[in-house]
Amino acid sequence: MTKAGAFLKGAAIGAALGLLFAPKSGEELRKDLMKKREEAMGTAKEYAEMAKEKGNDLQQVAKDTSEDIRVTLKDGYEDVKGQAKDTAEQVKSDAEAAKESAKKTAEEVKKEAEQGKAEADVAAQKPQN
């Protein structure tokens, strides 16, 4: 049982016992009982309204928090997506540069090999003493 429920129950029992043991006429007692009943109903309505307001507040907080999380995740996704795209472009650029460098190195090795062959052919054609 909640604190509010326990409080209301205790207040109702205490009021009823107090009225029953008070030296009053039946009509006065009924009026007092009705008055205490109305007071208890008013208090119960106040607690119900407070609970409803707190529930609405919590619902709004949950909704706002959910929206904040959604926006944060979306922004994070967009950041990661952009970084992945940048990295892919950098890798592609680096691969192209490596390809060009390898091509240039291959051409240099080929030229040196051709020069070596030409020198070897010239040396082979010279008469030996």
- Position 20 in a domain: yes
pLDDT of 76-112, one tens digit each? 999 999 999 999 999 999 999 999 999 999 999 999 8
Task: For residue 126, tell me if it sits in a domain.
Answer: no
Give the number of domains in the chain. 1
46: left (phi over 0), alpha (psi -120 to 50) or beta: alpha
- Give the pLDDT confidence score for residue 32 in this predicted structure: 79
Would residue 128 count as lying in a domain? no
Q: Which of 18, 10, 21 is nearest to 43 (CA)?
A: 10
pTM score over 0.75: no
